[in-house]
Structure 1
Amino acid sequence: MTASAKGMEGRVILVTGSTGGIGLETARELVKRGAQVTIAGRNAQKTAQVAQEIGAAGTLIADLSELSQVQRAAEEFAQRSGRLDVLVNNAGALLNTRQETREGIEMTWALNHLSPFLLTRELLPLLQRGTMPRVVTVSSGAHAMGRIRFDDPEFRRGYSGWLAYAQSKLANILFTRELARREPWLHANTLHPGMVATGFGSHQGGAFSQVYRLVDRFSLTPVQGAQTTIHLAADPVDVTGRYFVKSSVATPQPQALDDGAALRLWNLSETQVDDVLRGRIPGRTWPDILAEVRRVTGA
């Protein structure tokens, strides 16, 4: 066992988006190092197969784009485990057309940002009971093109799949910075995994898919792309609220260092997730609702 692998025996870890790509390779390596890894996925059969293949301690089945399922998954995990040592927020998507979840939230914003925000918030009590607790959130160098559209984070106007993705990856970094500020006992860091050949975006169809299939030919393997995530989950890391590239601290773009924006984003995110969980319609004003009613009824 290498020096970096020491101390992982018995550590309780939850990895989202772990049935393929860098999430799978992260989970696989952490299991090899002796951790008790629970993998989260949408498809029960596939998730069970992957868990058996890598020797995971358990599975958590949920569609993490739906916040009610995120909350249920956190409750289910809490019922099973008395603590959590490491949470790896890895699940994400890039969509070339605007889609909404069944809860009425734009899919990229829901899955890439609100989901890890809520999951982390709900699991904080378990993390407080953990040993050297950590939250690792997979961001991207795409944050460089991101801006938080506080007046329209769901891109109801002028949707761009790439800009929605870039915004969500910027949100990952800002969320992590504010989390580290609020919870100084917790090591919370984020990372850019590199351009990884995981088929990410290749299922979208048309020119979008063709570009991603071409990019994949020149990208890192999932094993290579998982290394920074594994480093932050398993190796000695004495900083918090930082952004990592190639397993080293890096400086993100200036908009990712705006602590005022981080606080504003936190407050916006809390409002959105709480509205959804209370059955409200997020992001829609009464004029929006009336316009939708008129469109549907023809009134």
Structure 2
Amino acid sequence: MFRWIAAGCTGATLLIMIYRKLFTHTAKCLSTRTLAGKVVIVTGANTGIGKTTSQELAERHAKVIMACRDISKGQSALKDIRKNTKNGILVVKQLDLQSQASVRQFCSQILEEESRLDVLINNAGVMGHPFTLTEDGMEIHMAVNHFSNFLLTNLLLDLLKKSAPSRIVFVSSSLHKRGTVDFSMFDKKQKHPYSNSKLANIYFARALSRNLDGTGVRVHTLHPGMVNTELSRHSLSRFMRVLLSPLAWFLLQSSREGCQTVVYCAVSEELDHVTGRYYGKCKEEPWTEIAKENSMCKKLWEVSERLTGIANNVS
């Protein structure tokens, strides 16, 4: 009898998951805006949300600069995108967010080669990476997910302001609610390093939106929800990822579904005259209580300036 009950429960669970996957509503960016003549940078563009975002924006005729740590993987992603659309211009450039020197080199190339930058999408990140210090002496989650984003964004700000109206999009996470920003732990092992770095994204974005008030550069922050990508590759063994892949297909969004809020923040006409807000499922959501700590936004900005060696060039 117990086996029949267990089998029935398992079958019912599978049916519910199939129904949710096939018939429940997923967010969709409904904007039909095209981006001909516009230049967009997408970090982490060789896989997951970054790759599908690059494709969606190329379909809208943008010039998409795919900033990737591994050039060969970036070129492979470009070829995959070209199987689905011939629109837009796709360019792969090397950007390793584990290295501030790489960030500076990338930005130098962009400023030399591009006369405009309409959208900067800070998407790339690491999750569940074993404790590692980068060449700059920082814990890898904070280095990649926050400090390099801080440096990259600030180095490109003048070009974004020159191109206004323009946008900066931060791909954060709802897990920021579990995070803390401890200024004494940037070079030490942390309990929730991914959540901490995603909270840092939010503090940076909120400070940036205030500093850019009146410049025509809009700042939008989002969480994409649970998405079936390679982001968790450091958290699970290859065997476990293969074993759980069918379950992930049922329970998680595809990268195409998961990128919709990113695209929404990058193109939607609804956001033309707003800034400094938070989105999920292509809708505005309220800031969490921890995100509202304005003193933390200010202090993190000041510390980030010092640790990246950049002068404040925000007017």
- Range into which the TM-score falls when normalised by the shorter chain: 0.7 to 0.9
CA apart distance, 1:64: 1.5
Gaps of 5+ in 2: 1-28, 83-88, 311-315
Compared CA separation, residues 207 and 12, structure 1 to 2 (3 A): closer
Whether the 8 Å CA contact 1:84–1:133 is kept in 2: the answer is yes
SS in 1 for 2:230: coil
TM-score by length of 1: 0.84
Kindly provide the amino acid, as one letter, of the partner of residue 171 in structure 1. A
Moved more, 55-64 or 232-241: 55-64
Q: State the match for 2:218 in structure 1.
A: 187
CA apart distance, 1:245: 0.8
SS in 2 for 1:243: strand
Distance, in Å, in 1 between the alignment partners of 2:129 and 2:280 is 26
Q: 1:76-155 alignment to 2 at 5 Å?
A: 76-154=109-187
Whether the 8 Å CA contact 1:202–1:208 is kept in 2: the answer is no
Distance, in Å, in 2 between the alignment partners of 1:9 and 1:204 is 39
Moved more, 201-210 or 246-255: 201-210
Kindly provide the amino acid, as one letter, of the partner of residue 272 in structure 1. L
Q: Any runs of at least 4 consecutive aligned residues in structure 1 with deviations exceeding 3 A, and if so which?
A: 203-215
CA apart distance, 1:216: 2.8
Moved more, 264-273 or 3-12: 3-12
CA apart distance, 1:101: 1.3
Q: 1:189-208 alignment to 2 at 5 Å?
A: 189-206=220-237
Distance, in Å, in 1 between the alignment partners of 2:225 and 2:242 is 17
Whether the 8 Å CA contact 1:143–1:253 is kept in 2: the answer is no
Kindly provide the amino acid, as one letter, of the partner of residue 83 in structure 1. R
Task: Give per-residue Cα distances to partners, 1:43-100, cap 9 Å, x unaligned.
Answer: 1222123224435431211211111101110111111101100000000011242111
Whether the 8 Å CA contact 1:242–1:249 is kept in 2: the answer is yes
Count of residue pairs brought into register by the alignment: 270
Identity %: 34
Q: State the match for 1:271 in structure 2.
A: 306
Whether the 8 Å CA contact 2:129–2:141 is kept in 1: the answer is no
Moved more, 40-49 or 17-26: 40-49
Q: 1:214-225 alignment to 2 at 5 Å?
A: 216-217=248-249, 218-225=251-258
Distance, in Å, in 2 between the alignment partners of 1:60 and 1:206 is 29
Match of 1:72 among 88, 94, 105: 105
Q: State the match for 1:287 in structure 2.
A: none
Match of 2:196 among 167, 170, 178: 167
CA apart distance, 1:167: 0.7
Moved more, 214-223 or 65-74: 214-223
SS in 2 for 1:98: coil
Q: 1:236-255 alignment to 2 at 5 Å?
A: 236=269, 237=271, 238-255=273-290
Distance, in Å, in 1 between the alignment partners of 2:274 and 2:169 is 12
SS in 1 for 2:221: strand
Match of 1:61 among 82, 94, 114: 94
TM-score by length of 2: 0.80
Kindly provide the amino acid, as one letter, of the partner of residue 189 in structure 1. H
Larger gyration radius, structure 1 or structure 2 = 2
Compared CA separation, residues 77 and 269, structure 1 to 2 (3 A): same
Task: Give per-residue Cα distances to partners, 1:104-133, cap 9 Å, x unaligned.
Answer: 211100000011111100000110121421
CA apart distance, 1:204: 4.0
Kindly provide the amino acid, as one letter, of the partner of residue 41 in structure 2. L
SS in 1 for 2:219: strand
Q: State the match for 1:256 in structure 2.
A: 291
Compared CA separation, residues 208 and 167, structure 1 to 2 (3 A): farther
CA apart distance, 1:253: 1.9
Q: State the match for 1:15 in structure 2.
A: 42
SS in 2 for 1:202: helix
CA apart distance, 1:205: 4.5
Match of 1:178 among 203, 207, 218: 207
CA apart distance, 1:206: 4.9
Gaps of 5+ in 1: 276-299
Q: State the match for 1:45 in structure 2.
A: 72
